[in-house]
A and B are shown apart, each in its own frame.
Chain A
Amino acid sequence: MTPQHLLLLIVALPFLGSFAAAFLPTRARTQATLLAGLIAVVGAVGIGSLYPAVSQGQILLSVTPWLPSLDLNLTFRLSGVSWLFAMLVLVMGALVILYARYYMSDEDPVPRFFSFLLAFMGSMLGVVLSGNLIQIAFFWEVTSLFSFLLIGYWHHNQSARDGARMALMVTGAGGICLMLGFILLGQMAGGFSLDTVLASKDAIHSSPYYPLALALILIGCFTKSAQFPFHFWLPHAMAAPTPVSAYLHSATMVKAGVFILILLWPVLSGTDLWYFAVAPIGAITLLIGAWVAIFQQDLKGLLAYSTISHLGLIVLLLGLGSPLAAVAAIFHTVNHATFKASLFMAAGIIDHETGTRDIRKLGGLWNYMPITATLAMVAAAAMAGVPLLNGFLSKEMFLAEVLEDHSGTLIDAVLPWLATIASAFAVLYSIRFIHQVFFVAPPEPLPRTPHEPPPWMRRPIEILVLACLLIGIFPAATIGPFLASAVRDTLGDQAPAYSLAVWHGFNRPLFLSLTALAGGLILYILFGGRLNAAKASPVVGRLKARRTFEAVVERGIAIAGWLHALAGTRRLQPQLRVLMIFALAAAALPFLFLGYSVGSERWTGVDPVFALLWLIGGSCALAAAWTAKFHRLAALILVGAAGLATCISFVWLSAPDLALTQLLVEIVTTVLLLLGLRWLPKRQPDIWPETRMPVQVLARRGGDLAIAIIAGLGMALISYAVMTRPVTDSIADFFTRNAYAEGGGTNIVNVILVDFRAFDTLGEITVLAIVAITVFSLLRRFRPASDSIETPEQQRVQADFDRRHADREVGDTVTDALMVPRLIMQWMFPVIITFALYLLLRGHDLPGGGFAAGIAMSIGILLQYMAMGTREVEDRLMVLPINWIGIGMLAAALTGAGAWLFGYPLLTTFFRYLDVPLIGEVPAASALLFDLGVFAVVVGSTVLVLIALAHQSIRTPRAARPAEPKAGEEQG
């Protein structure tokens, strides 16, 4: 397998696994874990096997063309940085999956959890491995979606739902900004491929759109990486199951923003704007996060704010803009993932074993779970930046960087202080975490007596803590090479010399580090006891980010409601009016500017018969409009007459195919409308029977009439202008020339439908099928208006008549009346079927085809229903419209796909003449099979809708059934 294929496979596998996991039984916890774990391990091994190439500075590309003309291809790109992040995603994924196996309870639908988690893993891999900006933005949005689903996994929990919604709204809005920023960036760079973008630093920096693009991309990254002021969603996302918090909200997803900043660091950074936009935000987030974390009473809340603070640290480092700071940022990203994920897992174990996450209620756990306590202590020490642990190393690099001058402004002077204070806070909350949870005696007995978790639940933490120690003690031997390849990839020629050593001698960073450690310890000794009483974090606690967010959302909903009340209406007439006026204006505008002129063609003579025909059609149409409101049946009959005139016009104008189809459609439409007419609510009597019509009603109706007349005249004028112009070369000539040569048919309309535009036809029959099934399912739930539930008056009268006469049975009247027509309609059935098949078979060369044949066939079936009634027909005739639709869709799609077997593009038609014995040479085209599919879908859809309407009559309406009195009620 080539590396290119391997890359594609690694991204695809989690999605396939997600799909498979979704189909596992709800209780298949172990199988789902095995599946998910296997995929993560296979992915990690795959990515690992590509390391030799990456370590030599190679960039592996896997390009699958999609829209090459638009520079949009499915591109995956493995470089040093993306290798590191992909490894992080997969290894963390494997550990979290193992942990989740023991964390998730038996009652939870675990396969669904793993399905979401795998899909998230896939989309995260998509973000870090994509080689195209648009593709990154796409996968970015997908991570937001699966994060939403994972946070809301316990959807019966109100706070989980709220947290999920908040996270989705914040990160989703950020994703839109990121997308816009990427589009601008691609425009500036002249392409969306990452290699193009990374190579055009100068073009990007000199572009006037650089500030806008930077702002949009930063908003995207800051929302995802929980930077101030968008940080508030992260603590609320803690309602998620703890494996999710460990995976998404400490190790991977919140690092996506950081990843983009690192990825685009070479082209975006290096300007004052970058420095002043990124560094202060990072610094504020670092400080606020650390400050608020001190006052958290929830274990996961503490970790969440600590995560915010550490993300701020990384963003600050990237903002500084110096190569060494970027190295520190990459390094700290990895370190933070290891110690924070292990702390989250430890918090999950504590929650699991004691039944609470409240720091105030916890205490003395050292006696019950010493191993977990030790692991958590090491991880917390790494978080605090204690020497010989990985957190210390990257923090040293950070402190060294803030001591450097970067901009020559006040920020340079403030940063060392700020960094030291924030570090001291980090020490403080780390100590508090350990001391409160494991050592202080609890104020009241714990909800549950804790004990050590199962060893396999602890294993992921052990591995991560071991990594903290190994990186902390032997940095150069462990993380060194991987970091080096990532740094070389990001910084290129700028890659600085840096030393990954534990001991750099007594220098200023070490001094700051020790100050922070001592400061944190002293602060805890002084104030630690009082922290348990804190209700909210002082100073910053006043900034209720959540409340602001909710207020904004409420406001948005209110504005939407107001706009809807202002501009929306549920009445059809105003909607139609607005649509017509807009259409009129749009059509009139070009004429206002360019003028109206008639073409040069001369008048043809007037054919008196044709003129008479149009007079008939026109007056019927006008009369239909006139009676539509007051006499529906008359209007329907008049519309039928007008339609007939149209059909004859088609014949007159040499369009026999169209005429044929239109005639069939007219017939079926009349019956369809009649079926619907039965269920329409009764017409309201005239609202102003005696009093005079109010002026505004007159004005409204007059206005509508004016709109109608203007629109009609406009159409006539446009048609006239078009038809008086000479016919120019058009696409029609192409079809006339090629219909037989290329499509093998002489009926051009049909060849267009089943060959040249077969893909459109396939889409159309799909829509037809969907519409039919939708109508069918809507009608199953249809409740008629109360005044049309009753049996129609005619039927009651006739039934009464039958009942009054001793020699008659109920229903005799209708049987007698239908005696002759019924016989004719039944006998016509085979004839109509033959006619339909005839239309279908010869459609390729002469008028007809699948659609017309399908309508004819369904008229045949319809006639049986009218002749015999629903029950009798369905006793004898198996009409399964859904099967017709399904078989038709399959036939059409398979015929189209069949072309692939012979190496032709989809829907290529094959035709030749076959020599059939007795009959002779007959044309045979694969298009006929396709047309057969069209035929079946049309029959199925038409019959489905008509039968669904007809079935309304034999349904027993609920309201008509009298409520049965309950026993005992009668006595009162």
Chain B
Amino acid sequence: MNAQLILALAITASQLILGFAMACATWRVIVGPRAQDRVLGLDTLYVNSMLLLITFGIQTGRTLYFEAALVIGMLGFTGTVALAKFLMRGEVIE
């Protein structure tokens, strides 16, 4: 068992686990029951996809994909904030 194989296995495993996590989050997004659950589900989806992209970057060995992860990390919360504010105040920008 060499390093390459370990890495490959680790990445595949983490991708599968992340995929499973995303499936769970999706369940919340679809089923709800409250709007807050859905928003939280979407936020979890964003975080998990960011991680998924990083594993994908490690897998291919290209740093290019980290850019997309960076965007999610830096700006992905905008949607969540907007939704949360909409739920709390009834409008996004007062």
Residues of A whose CB lies within 8 Å of any CB of B are 608-609, 612-613, 615-616, 619-620, 623, 633-634, 637-638, 640-641, 644, 647-648, 651-652, 656, 659-660, 663-664, 666-667, 670-671, 674-675, 677-678, 791-795, 798, 814, 817-818, 821, 825, 828, 831-832, 835, 846-848, 856, 859, 862-863, 865-866, 869-870, 946, 949-950, 953-954
Contacts and interface: CB of A to CB of B under 8 A. Distances in A.
A620 to B, nearest CB: 6
A678 B91 contact: yes
Given A671-B82, A674-B82, A865-B93, A634 B32 contact: yes
A613 B22 contact: yes
Contacts of A666: 79
Given A644-B46, A674-B86, A794-B90, A847 B81 contact: no
Nearest to A870: B93
B90 A792 contact: yes
Nearest to A835: B74
Contacts of A637: 29, 35, 38-39, 41-42, 83
A922 B52 CA distance: 34
A641 B45 contact: yes
A468 to B, nearest CB: 77
Contacts of A792: 89-91
Contacts of A648: 49, 52-53
B90 A793 contact: yes
Contacts of A832: 74-75
A818 B90 CA distance: 15
B71 A660 contact: yes
Interface of B: 12, 15-16, 18-20, 22-23, 26, 29-30, 32, 35, 38-39, 41-42, 45-46, 49, 52-53, 56, 64-65, 67-68, 70-72, 74-76, 78-79, 81-83, 85-94
B36 to A, nearest CB: 11
Contacts of A817: 88
A946 B81 CA distance: 16
11 contacts: A612-B19, A615-B23, A641-B26, A644-B45, A647-B68, A648-B53, A659-B65, A675-B91, A832-B74, A859-B75, A859-B78
Contact of A795 (B16, B41, B76, B89): B89
Given A609-B19, A616-B26, A671-B79, 10 more contacts: A609-B18, A637-B41, A638-B30, A660-B67, A663-B72, A674-B86, A846-B64, A859-B75, A950-B92, A953-B91
B82 A670 contact: yes
Given A619-B26, A637-B42, A794 B89 contact: yes
A522 to B, nearest CB: 90
B67 A641 contact: no
Contacts of B49: 644, 647-648
A813 to B, nearest CB: 9
Q: Is the interface of B mostly helix, strand, loop or mixed?
A: helix
Contacts of B16: 608-609
A667 B75 contact: yes
Contact of A656 (B12, B20, B64): B64
B22 A619 contact: no
Nearest to B93: A950
Contacts of A678: 86, 90-92
Contacts of A619: 26, 30
A640 B42 contact: yes
A661 B69 CA distance: 12
B29 A641 contact: yes
B78 to A, nearest CB: 5
B53 to A, nearest CB: 6
Nearest to B22: A616
Nearest to A950: B93
A651 B68 contact: yes
A866 B93 contact: yes
A821 B42 contact: no
B83 A674 contact: yes
Given A641-B29, A656-B64, A794-B88, A616 B81 contact: no
A667 B79 contact: yes
A825 B75 CA distance: 10
B26 to A, nearest CB: 5
Contacts of B45: 616, 641, 644
A663 B79 contact: no
Contact of B56 (A612, A647, A651, A818): A651
Contacts of A671: 78-79, 82, 92
A613 B74 contact: no
A667 B89 CA distance: 20
A609 B15 contact: yes
B52 to A, nearest CB: 7
B5 to A, nearest CB: 18
A862 B85 CA distance: 13
B9 to A, nearest CB: 14
Contact of B67 (A656, A821, A831): A656
Contacts of B22: 612-613, 616
Contact of B68 (A609, A612, A656): A656
Contacts of A791: 90
A659 B71 CA distance: 10
A817 B94 CA distance: 14
A762 to B, nearest CB: 27
Nearest to B78: A667
Contacts of B52: 609, 648
B23 A869 contact: no
Given A620-B26, A667-B75, A641 B42 contact: yes
A613 B75 contact: no
Contacts of A869: 93-94
Contact of A633 (B12, B35, B81, B88): B35
A818 B93 CA distance: 13
Contacts of B64: 656, 846-847
A182 to B, nearest CB: 58
A621 to B, nearest CB: 11
B92 to A, nearest CB: 5
B41 to A, nearest CB: 8
Identify the interface centre among A663, A675, A953: most chain B CB within 10 Å of its CB: A663
A862 B29 CA distance: 25
B74 A620 contact: no
Given A648-B53, A866-B85, A634 B71 contact: no
Contacts of A954: 94
A677 B30 contact: no
Nearest to B69: A651
A623 B92 CA distance: 24
Nearest to B19: A612
Identify the interface centre among B18, B22, B64, B92: most chain A CB within 10 Å of its CB: B92
Identify the interface centre among B42, B70, B75: most chain A CB within 10 Å of its CB: B75
Contacts of B72: 663
> What 10 pairs between A and B have smallest CB-CB spacing?
A792-B90, A950-B93, A612-B19, A670-B79, A609-B15, A869-B94, A794-B90, A678-B91, A623-B30, A671-B82
B65 to A, nearest CB: 6
Contacts of B15: 609
A20 to B, nearest CB: 47
A616 B48 CA distance: 13
A750 to B, nearest CB: 14
Contact of B92 (A609, A616, A828, A866): A866
A552 to B, nearest CB: 55
A814 B71 contact: no
B75 A638 contact: no
Nearest to B91: A678
Given A634-B32, A870-B93, A831 B74 contact: yes
Nearest to B94: A869
Contacts of A674: 82-83, 86, 92
Nearest to B76: A667
B24 to A, nearest CB: 10
Contacts of A865: 93
B75 A677 contact: no
A870 B38 contact: no
A640 B32 contact: no
